[in-house]
Structure 1
Protein backbone atom coordinates (compact mmCIF):
# COMPACT_ATOMS: atom_id res chain seq x y z
CA UNK A 1 0.00 0.00 0.00
CA UNK A 2 1.25 3.51 -0.74
CA UNK A 3 1.95 6.32 1.67
CA UNK A 4 -0.88 7.95 3.64
CA UNK A 5 -2.77 4.68 3.54
CA UNK A 6 -3.94 5.14 -0.04
CA UNK A 7 -4.88 2.00 -1.93
CA UNK A 8 -2.83 1.42 -5.07
CA UNK A 9 -4.61 0.42 -8.28
CA UNK A 10 -2.89 -0.84 -11.43
CA UNK A 11 -4.65 -0.30 -14.77
CA UNK A 12 -3.52 -2.58 -17.61
CA UNK A 13 -5.02 -1.41 -20.92
CA UNK A 14 -3.55 -0.73 -24.35
CA UNK A 15 -5.95 2.14 -25.02
CA UNK A 16 -4.38 5.42 -23.81
CA UNK A 17 -7.77 7.14 -23.55
CA UNK A 18 -9.08 4.46 -21.18
CA UNK A 19 -5.93 4.58 -19.05
CA UNK A 20 -6.08 8.37 -18.79
CA UNK A 21 -9.82 8.38 -18.03
CA UNK A 22 -9.51 5.79 -15.28
CA UNK A 23 -6.34 7.31 -13.84
CA UNK A 24 -7.94 10.74 -13.50
CA UNK A 25 -11.28 9.46 -12.20
CA UNK A 26 -9.79 7.09 -9.63
CA UNK A 27 -7.14 9.54 -8.47
CA UNK A 28 -9.97 11.98 -7.71
CA UNK A 29 -11.47 9.25 -5.49
CA UNK A 30 -8.28 9.16 -3.42
CA UNK A 31 -6.54 6.16 -4.97
CA UNK A 32 -2.94 6.01 -6.08
CA UNK A 33 -3.07 4.83 -9.68
CA UNK A 34 -0.36 3.21 -11.80
CA UNK A 35 -0.93 2.19 -15.40
CA UNK A 36 0.59 -0.14 -17.96
CA UNK A 37 -0.07 -0.64 -21.66
CA UNK A 38 1.37 -4.17 -21.80
CA UNK A 39 2.51 -7.09 -19.72
CA UNK A 40 6.16 -6.06 -19.37
CA UNK A 41 5.13 -2.71 -17.90
CA UNK A 42 2.64 -4.44 -15.60
CA UNK A 43 5.31 -6.79 -14.19
CA UNK A 44 7.64 -3.86 -13.64
CA UNK A 45 5.01 -2.04 -11.56
CA UNK A 46 4.23 -5.19 -9.56
CA UNK A 47 7.94 -5.64 -8.85
CA UNK A 48 8.33 -2.03 -7.72
CA UNK A 49 5.49 -1.81 -5.22
CA UNK A 50 2.56 -3.52 -3.56
CA UNK A 51 -0.66 -3.26 -5.58
CA UNK A 52 -4.10 -3.61 -3.97
CA UNK A 53 -6.13 -4.22 -7.15
CA UNK A 54 -5.40 -4.89 -10.84
CA UNK A 55 -7.87 -3.61 -13.45
CA UNK A 56 -7.07 -5.42 -16.69
CA UNK A 57 -8.41 -5.32 -20.23
CA UNK A 58 -9.38 -8.76 -21.48
CA UNK A 59 -8.38 -7.94 -25.07
CA UNK A 60 -4.91 -6.44 -25.41
CA UNK A 61 -3.52 -5.86 -28.91
CA UNK A 62 -0.28 -7.77 -28.49
CA UNK A 63 -1.09 -10.08 -25.56
CA UNK A 64 -3.83 -12.26 -24.11
CA UNK A 65 -5.32 -10.53 -21.08
CA UNK A 66 -6.66 -13.84 -19.80
CA UNK A 67 -3.19 -15.37 -19.81
CA UNK A 68 -1.73 -12.34 -18.03
CA UNK A 69 -4.48 -12.54 -15.42
CA UNK A 70 -3.74 -16.21 -14.86
CA UNK A 71 -0.02 -15.46 -14.39
CA UNK A 72 -0.82 -12.67 -11.91
CA UNK A 73 -3.09 -15.01 -9.97
CA UNK A 74 -0.33 -17.65 -9.78
CA UNK A 75 2.06 -15.18 -8.16
CA UNK A 76 -0.14 -12.79 -6.20
CA UNK A 77 -3.35 -12.83 -4.15
CA UNK A 78 -4.21 -9.38 -5.53
CA UNK A 79 -7.86 -9.02 -6.63
CA UNK A 80 -8.36 -8.67 -10.39
CA UNK A 81 -11.15 -6.90 -12.26
CA UNK A 82 -11.43 -7.67 -15.98
CA UNK A 83 -12.66 -5.15 -18.55
CA UNK A 84 -13.81 -6.02 -22.06
CA UNK A 85 -15.75 -4.49 -24.92
CA UNK A 86 -17.39 -7.75 -25.94
CA UNK A 87 -20.68 -8.90 -24.49
CA UNK A 88 -20.36 -12.63 -25.04
CA UNK A 89 -21.15 -14.51 -21.83
CA UNK A 90 -18.46 -17.05 -22.75
CA UNK A 91 -15.82 -14.37 -22.41
CA UNK A 92 -17.18 -13.43 -19.02
CA UNK A 93 -16.98 -17.04 -17.84
CA UNK A 94 -13.47 -17.50 -19.20
CA UNK A 95 -12.32 -14.42 -17.34
CA UNK A 96 -13.81 -15.65 -14.10
CA UNK A 97 -12.47 -19.15 -14.57
CA UNK A 98 -8.93 -18.04 -15.25
CA UNK A 99 -8.51 -15.47 -12.51
CA UNK A 100 -10.90 -12.53 -12.24
CA UNK A 101 -12.74 -11.54 -9.09
CA UNK A 102 -15.12 -9.25 -10.96
CA UNK A 103 -15.92 -8.27 -14.54
CA UNK A 104 -17.23 -5.16 -16.31
CA UNK A 105 -18.21 -4.41 -19.88
CA UNK A 106 -17.01 -1.45 -21.93
CA UNK A 107 -18.41 1.15 -22.14
CA UNK A 108 -18.84 1.23 -18.37
CA UNK A 109 -20.40 3.63 -15.91
CA UNK A 110 -17.66 5.24 -13.83
CA UNK A 111 -19.84 5.36 -10.73
CA UNK A 112 -20.60 1.63 -10.97
CA UNK A 113 -16.94 0.82 -11.66
CA UNK A 114 -15.84 2.83 -8.63
CA UNK A 115 -18.43 1.08 -6.46
CA UNK A 116 -17.21 -2.34 -7.57
CA UNK A 117 -13.59 -1.39 -6.97
CA UNK A 118 -14.50 -0.24 -3.49
CA UNK A 119 -16.38 -3.50 -2.82
CA UNK A 120 -13.44 -5.64 -3.97
CA UNK A 121 -10.99 -3.68 -1.85
CA UNK A 122 -13.28 -3.85 1.17
CA UNK A 123 -13.57 -7.64 0.91
CA UNK A 124 -9.88 -8.17 0.22
CA UNK A 125 -8.95 -6.11 3.30
CA UNK A 126 -9.98 -9.11 5.43
CA UNK A 127 -7.41 -11.33 3.69
CA UNK A 128 -3.86 -11.38 5.02
CA UNK A 129 -1.69 -13.84 3.05
CA UNK A 130 1.08 -13.54 5.65
CA UNK A 131 -1.15 -14.52 8.56
CA UNK A 132 -0.54 -17.97 10.01
CA UNK A 133 -2.96 -20.28 11.71
CA UNK A 134 -3.64 -19.27 15.30
CA UNK A 135 -5.35 -21.14 18.10
CA UNK A 136 -7.70 -18.19 18.52
CA UNK A 137 -8.87 -18.43 14.92
CA UNK A 138 -12.17 -19.99 13.91
CA UNK A 139 -11.28 -22.94 11.70
CA UNK A 140 -13.00 -25.77 9.86
CA UNK A 141 -11.29 -29.14 9.34
CA UNK A 142 -12.18 -31.58 6.56
CA UNK A 143 -10.03 -34.23 4.93
CA UNK A 144 -6.47 -32.90 4.85
CA UNK A 145 -7.68 -29.30 4.75
CA UNK A 146 -7.90 -26.48 7.29
CA UNK A 147 -10.15 -23.56 6.37
CA UNK A 148 -9.23 -20.60 8.59
CA UNK A 149 -12.32 -18.38 8.61
CA UNK A 150 -10.58 -15.68 10.65
CA UNK A 151 -7.52 -15.30 8.44
CA UNK A 152 -9.56 -16.32 5.38
CA UNK A 153 -6.98 -18.89 4.30
CA UNK A 154 -7.03 -22.48 3.09
CA UNK A 155 -4.09 -24.66 4.16
CA UNK A 156 -3.24 -28.32 4.16
CA UNK A 157 -2.04 -30.19 7.26
CA UNK A 158 1.58 -29.34 6.42
CA UNK A 159 0.73 -25.64 6.55
CA UNK A 160 0.98 -25.03 2.80
CA UNK A 161 -1.47 -22.35 1.71
CA UNK A 162 -3.65 -22.68 -1.38
CA UNK A 163 -4.42 -19.24 -2.80
CA UNK A 164 -8.15 -18.67 -3.29
CA UNK A 165 -9.80 -15.72 -4.99
CA UNK A 166 -12.37 -13.77 -3.01
CA UNK A 167 -15.20 -15.53 -4.78
CA UNK A 168 -13.66 -18.97 -4.30
CA UNK A 169 -13.16 -18.45 -0.56
CA UNK A 170 -16.67 -17.11 -0.07
CA UNK A 171 -18.17 -20.06 -1.93
CA UNK A 172 -16.09 -22.61 0.01
CA UNK A 173 -17.02 -20.95 3.30
CA UNK A 174 -20.70 -21.06 2.34
CA UNK A 175 -20.55 -24.78 1.51
CA UNK A 176 -18.23 -25.97 4.28
CA UNK A 177 -20.20 -24.24 7.03
CA UNK A 178 -23.29 -26.14 5.88
CA UNK A 179 -22.04 -29.72 5.41
CA UNK A 180 -24.34 -32.47 4.14
CA UNK A 181 -26.94 -29.92 3.10
CA UNK A 182 -28.05 -29.47 -0.51
CA UNK A 183 -27.89 -25.84 -1.60
CA UNK A 184 -29.38 -24.56 -4.84
CA UNK A 185 -27.42 -22.09 -6.95
CA UNK A 186 -29.80 -19.34 -5.86
CA UNK A 187 -29.19 -20.16 -2.19
CA UNK A 188 -25.44 -20.18 -2.75
CA UNK A 189 -25.58 -16.75 -4.38
CA UNK A 190 -27.68 -15.37 -1.51
CA UNK A 191 -25.39 -16.83 1.15
CA UNK A 192 -22.01 -16.04 -0.42
CA UNK A 193 -20.72 -12.65 0.69
CA UNK A 194 -18.01 -12.68 -1.94
CA UNK A 195 -20.43 -12.96 -4.87
CA UNK A 196 -22.04 -9.57 -4.56
CA UNK A 197 -21.99 -8.22 -8.10
CA UNK A 198 -23.59 -9.42 -11.32
CA UNK A 199 -23.80 -13.08 -10.38
CA UNK A 200 -25.67 -15.71 -12.33
CA UNK A 201 -26.01 -19.48 -12.11
CA UNK A 202 -23.13 -20.19 -14.49
CA UNK A 203 -20.75 -18.20 -12.26
CA UNK A 204 -21.44 -20.62 -9.40
CA UNK A 205 -20.69 -23.58 -11.68
CA UNK A 206 -17.38 -22.05 -12.75
CA UNK A 207 -16.33 -21.35 -9.16
CA UNK A 208 -17.24 -24.93 -8.21
CA UNK A 209 -14.97 -26.22 -10.99
CA UNK A 210 -12.12 -24.02 -9.79
CA UNK A 211 -12.52 -25.13 -6.18
CA UNK A 212 -12.56 -28.78 -7.17
CA UNK A 213 -9.26 -28.36 -9.02
CA UNK A 214 -7.70 -26.95 -5.86
CA UNK A 215 -9.34 -29.20 -3.25
CA UNK A 216 -9.97 -32.58 -4.79
CA UNK A 217 -7.47 -35.34 -5.49
CA UNK A 218 -9.63 -36.18 -8.53
CA UNK A 219 -11.83 -33.23 -9.57
CA UNK A 220 -13.90 -35.51 -11.81
CA UNK A 221 -14.79 -37.72 -8.82
CA UNK A 222 -15.00 -35.15 -6.02
CA UNK A 223 -14.76 -36.20 -2.40
CA UNK A 224 -16.07 -32.96 -0.92
CA UNK A 225 -18.15 -30.86 -3.35
CA UNK A 226 -20.87 -33.12 -4.73
CA UNK A 227 -23.25 -32.26 -7.56
CA UNK A 228 -26.91 -32.98 -6.83
CA UNK A 229 -28.40 -33.06 -10.30
CA UNK A 230 -31.37 -30.78 -10.73
CA UNK A 231 -30.96 -29.48 -7.17
CA UNK A 232 -27.57 -27.85 -6.67
CA UNK A 233 -24.48 -28.78 -4.65
CA UNK A 234 -23.69 -30.52 -1.36
CA UNK A 235 -20.51 -30.36 0.72
CA UNK A 236 -19.78 -33.87 1.97
CA UNK A 237 -18.91 -33.99 5.65
CA UNK A 238 -17.72 -34.58 8.22
CA UNK A 239 -16.52 -31.05 8.95
CA UNK A 240 -15.00 -30.36 12.38
CA UNK A 241 -14.92 -26.92 13.98
CA UNK A 242 -12.27 -25.44 16.24
CA UNK A 243 -13.43 -25.06 19.79
Structure 2
Protein backbone atom coordinates (compact mmCIF):
# COMPACT_ATOMS: atom_id res chain seq x y z
CA UNK A 1 0.00 0.00 0.00
CA UNK A 2 1.41 3.38 -1.04
CA UNK A 3 0.68 5.76 1.84
CA UNK A 4 1.55 9.45 1.57
CA UNK A 5 3.74 11.35 4.01
CA UNK A 6 0.82 13.74 4.44
CA UNK A 7 -1.47 10.94 5.58
CA UNK A 8 1.04 9.58 8.07
CA UNK A 9 1.85 13.07 9.36
CA UNK A 10 -1.84 13.68 9.97
CA UNK A 11 -2.18 10.53 12.06
CA UNK A 12 1.08 10.96 13.95
CA UNK A 13 0.19 14.59 14.67
CA UNK A 14 -3.06 13.48 16.28
CA UNK A 15 -1.20 10.83 18.29
CA UNK A 16 1.28 13.42 19.57
CA UNK A 17 -1.49 15.79 20.64
CA UNK A 18 -3.87 13.24 22.14
CA UNK A 19 -1.75 10.26 23.21
CA UNK A 20 1.84 11.28 23.90
CA UNK A 21 0.50 14.26 25.86
CA UNK A 22 -1.01 11.87 28.43
CA UNK A 23 2.32 11.54 30.24
CA UNK A 24 6.08 11.70 29.78
CA UNK A 25 6.87 7.98 29.71
CA UNK A 26 6.79 7.54 25.95
CA UNK A 27 5.57 4.39 24.24
CA UNK A 28 6.46 0.76 23.64
CA UNK A 29 6.94 -1.47 20.61
CA UNK A 30 6.41 -5.20 21.06
CA UNK A 31 4.99 -6.11 17.64
CA UNK A 32 6.68 -6.43 14.26
CA UNK A 33 7.57 -3.06 12.73
CA UNK A 34 5.86 -4.33 9.57
CA UNK A 35 2.53 -3.97 11.43
CA UNK A 36 1.13 -0.46 10.85
CA UNK A 37 -0.15 -0.37 14.43
CA UNK A 38 3.47 0.34 15.37
CA UNK A 39 3.58 3.68 13.49
CA UNK A 40 2.24 5.89 16.32
CA UNK A 41 4.05 3.79 18.93
CA UNK A 42 7.37 4.82 17.38
CA UNK A 43 6.81 8.27 15.93
CA UNK A 44 4.46 9.94 18.40
CA UNK A 45 6.82 9.59 21.39
CA UNK A 46 9.86 10.60 19.34
CA UNK A 47 8.09 13.68 17.95
CA UNK A 48 7.12 14.59 21.51
CA UNK A 49 10.71 14.21 22.74
CA UNK A 50 9.93 11.02 24.63
CA UNK A 51 11.44 7.54 24.66
CA UNK A 52 10.37 4.38 22.85
CA UNK A 53 10.89 1.09 24.68
CA UNK A 54 11.72 -1.71 22.22
CA UNK A 55 10.89 -5.26 23.26
CA UNK A 56 12.34 -8.36 21.61
CA UNK A 57 9.74 -10.48 19.84
CA UNK A 58 11.72 -13.59 20.74
CA UNK A 59 10.40 -13.41 24.29
CA UNK A 60 6.83 -13.87 23.04
CA UNK A 61 3.80 -12.79 25.04
CA UNK A 62 4.36 -14.93 28.13
CA UNK A 63 6.26 -12.17 29.91
CA UNK A 64 4.61 -9.15 28.28
CA UNK A 65 2.94 -7.91 31.45
CA UNK A 66 6.10 -8.08 33.51
CA UNK A 67 8.18 -6.37 30.85
CA UNK A 68 5.69 -3.53 30.47
CA UNK A 69 5.51 -3.00 34.23
CA UNK A 70 9.31 -2.96 34.43
CA UNK A 71 9.62 -0.30 31.71
CA UNK A 72 6.48 1.73 32.50
CA UNK A 73 4.55 3.78 33.16
CA UNK A 74 4.06 4.96 29.58
CA UNK A 75 2.33 7.99 28.13
CA UNK A 76 0.26 5.61 26.06
CA UNK A 77 0.16 2.04 24.85
CA UNK A 78 -1.34 0.89 21.57
CA UNK A 79 -2.04 -2.81 21.26
CA UNK A 80 -4.52 -5.37 19.96
CA UNK A 81 -7.46 -6.94 21.82
CA UNK A 82 -5.38 -10.13 21.84
CA UNK A 83 -2.63 -8.34 23.75
CA UNK A 84 -5.21 -6.90 26.13
CA UNK A 85 -6.62 -10.36 26.86
CA UNK A 86 -3.13 -11.71 27.58
CA UNK A 87 -2.39 -8.81 29.94
CA UNK A 88 -5.67 -9.45 31.76
CA UNK A 89 -4.14 -12.67 33.10
CA UNK A 90 -0.67 -11.30 33.79
CA UNK A 91 -1.22 -8.11 35.79
CA UNK A 92 -3.62 -6.94 38.49
CA UNK A 93 -6.24 -4.24 38.11
CA UNK A 94 -4.11 -1.92 40.25
CA UNK A 95 -1.09 -2.51 38.02
CA UNK A 96 -3.21 -1.96 34.91
CA UNK A 97 -4.40 1.40 36.23
CA UNK A 98 -0.82 2.66 36.45
CA UNK A 99 0.48 1.13 33.24
CA UNK A 100 -0.14 4.10 30.90
CA UNK A 101 -1.92 7.42 30.68
CA UNK A 102 -4.15 6.03 27.95
CA UNK A 103 -4.48 2.64 26.24
CA UNK A 104 -5.50 2.38 22.58
CA UNK A 105 -6.86 -0.90 21.21
CA UNK A 106 -6.81 -1.58 17.46
CA UNK A 107 -6.36 -4.27 14.83
CA UNK A 108 -9.38 -6.43 15.67
CA UNK A 109 -12.96 -6.04 16.87
CA UNK A 110 -13.03 -5.33 20.62
CA UNK A 111 -15.47 -7.41 22.66
CA UNK A 112 -17.53 -5.34 25.07
CA UNK A 113 -16.75 -7.65 28.00
CA UNK A 114 -12.99 -7.18 27.57
CA UNK A 115 -13.36 -3.46 26.93
CA UNK A 116 -15.59 -2.98 29.98
CA UNK A 117 -13.11 -4.81 32.21
CA UNK A 118 -10.21 -2.61 31.16
CA UNK A 119 -12.25 0.59 31.11
CA UNK A 120 -13.18 -0.15 34.72
CA UNK A 121 -9.54 -0.74 35.62
CA UNK A 122 -8.17 2.32 33.83
CA UNK A 123 -10.90 4.85 34.57
CA UNK A 124 -13.12 7.01 32.39
CA UNK A 125 -11.68 8.09 29.04
CA UNK A 126 -8.46 6.10 29.33
CA UNK A 127 -9.35 3.20 27.02
CA UNK A 128 -9.87 4.02 23.34
CA UNK A 129 -11.03 1.67 20.59
CA UNK A 130 -9.45 2.63 17.26
CA UNK A 131 -10.33 1.48 13.76
CA UNK A 132 -8.30 2.03 10.64
CA UNK A 133 -7.14 0.06 7.61
CA UNK A 134 -3.62 0.49 6.27
CA UNK A 135 -5.23 2.03 3.18
CA UNK A 136 -6.29 4.97 5.35
CA UNK A 137 -2.91 5.66 7.01
CA UNK A 138 -3.24 3.56 10.17
CA UNK A 139 -6.18 5.20 11.98
CA UNK A 140 -9.61 6.40 10.87
CA UNK A 141 -12.03 6.43 13.82
CA UNK A 142 -11.90 6.23 17.61
CA UNK A 143 -14.39 5.48 20.37
CA UNK A 144 -13.83 5.97 24.13
CA UNK A 145 -14.79 2.68 25.78
CA UNK A 146 -17.23 2.96 28.71
CA UNK A 147 -17.12 0.67 31.74
CA UNK A 148 -20.56 -0.70 30.82
CA UNK A 149 -19.65 -1.68 27.25
CA UNK A 150 -21.53 -4.65 25.80
CA UNK A 151 -21.55 -6.65 22.57
CA UNK A 152 -18.92 -5.36 20.17
CA UNK A 153 -17.50 -1.93 21.03
CA UNK A 154 -18.32 0.71 18.36
CA UNK A 155 -15.48 2.02 16.23
CA UNK A 156 -16.76 5.54 16.80
CA UNK A 157 -16.23 8.82 14.99
CA UNK A 158 -13.57 9.98 12.51
CA UNK A 159 -10.22 11.37 13.57
CA UNK A 160 -9.20 14.91 12.53
CA UNK A 161 -8.63 15.13 8.79
CA UNK A 162 -10.62 11.95 8.13
CA UNK A 163 -14.21 11.34 6.96
CA UNK A 164 -16.41 8.26 6.95
CA UNK A 165 -19.56 7.42 5.01
CA UNK A 166 -21.96 4.50 5.38
CA UNK A 167 -23.26 3.85 1.87
CA UNK A 168 -25.50 1.39 0.03
CA UNK A 169 -24.64 -0.44 -3.20
CA UNK A 170 -25.41 2.73 -5.19
CA UNK A 171 -23.03 4.75 -2.98
CA UNK A 172 -25.92 6.59 -1.37
CA UNK A 173 -25.95 7.33 2.38
CA UNK A 174 -28.09 4.99 4.47
CA UNK A 175 -30.21 6.10 7.44
CA UNK A 176 -29.26 5.59 11.08
CA UNK A 177 -29.46 1.92 12.02
CA UNK A 178 -29.40 0.64 8.44
CA UNK A 179 -26.56 -1.59 7.26
CA UNK A 180 -24.12 -0.28 4.68
CA UNK A 181 -20.51 -0.43 3.59
CA UNK A 182 -17.95 1.83 5.22
CA UNK A 183 -16.13 4.23 2.91
CA UNK A 184 -13.22 6.32 4.19
CA UNK A 185 -12.16 9.74 2.92
CA UNK A 186 -9.78 12.47 3.98
CA UNK A 187 -6.06 13.18 3.99
CA UNK A 188 -5.18 9.67 5.13
CA UNK A 189 -6.51 7.86 2.07
CA UNK A 190 -3.59 6.06 0.44
CA UNK A 191 -2.57 6.46 -3.19
CA UNK A 192 -3.25 2.82 -3.96
CA UNK A 193 -1.62 -0.58 -4.25
CA UNK A 194 1.87 -0.62 -5.71
CA UNK A 195 1.91 -2.35 -9.09
CA UNK A 196 -1.79 -3.29 -8.91
CA UNK A 197 -3.73 -0.68 -10.90
CA UNK A 198 -6.88 -2.80 -11.31
CA UNK A 199 -7.24 -3.45 -7.58
CA UNK A 200 -6.49 0.21 -6.88
CA UNK A 201 -9.30 1.29 -9.22
CA UNK A 202 -11.68 -1.18 -7.55
CA UNK A 203 -11.01 -0.13 -3.95
CA UNK A 204 -10.16 3.58 -4.34
CA UNK A 205 -13.15 5.25 -5.97
CA UNK A 206 -14.09 8.87 -6.82
CA UNK A 207 -15.51 10.74 -3.84
CA UNK A 208 -18.97 12.10 -4.72
CA UNK A 209 -19.06 14.10 -1.48
CA UNK A 210 -15.62 15.71 -1.60
CA UNK A 211 -13.57 18.08 -3.68
CA UNK A 212 -12.89 17.40 -7.34
CA UNK A 213 -10.29 14.66 -7.68
CA UNK A 214 -10.71 13.33 -4.15
CA UNK A 215 -11.24 9.64 -3.53
CA UNK A 216 -12.82 7.28 -1.03
CA UNK A 217 -11.42 3.97 0.11
CA UNK A 218 -13.99 1.19 -0.05
CA UNK A 219 -13.25 -0.90 3.06
CA UNK A 220 -15.54 -3.88 2.51
CA UNK A 221 -16.64 -3.59 6.15
CA UNK A 222 -20.35 -3.75 6.98
CA UNK A 223 -21.32 -1.09 9.51
CA UNK A 224 -24.17 1.12 10.67
CA UNK A 225 -24.63 4.46 12.39
CA UNK A 226 -25.88 4.28 15.97
CA UNK A 227 -28.43 6.72 17.34
CA UNK A 228 -25.55 8.29 19.29
CA UNK A 229 -23.67 9.06 16.06
CA UNK A 230 -21.00 6.36 16.32
CA UNK A 231 -20.13 3.80 13.67
CA UNK A 232 -20.74 0.20 14.70
CA UNK A 233 -18.74 -2.58 13.04
CA UNK A 234 -20.81 -5.65 12.11
CA UNK A 235 -18.55 -7.74 9.89
CA UNK A 236 -17.16 -8.10 6.39
CA UNK A 237 -19.17 -7.81 3.18
CA UNK A 238 -17.37 -10.86 1.78
CA UNK A 239 -18.08 -13.14 4.79
Query: TM over 0.5: same fold?
Result: no
Greater strand share, 1 or 2?
Answer: 2
Which structure has the higher relative contact order (CA within 8 Å, separation 6+)? 2
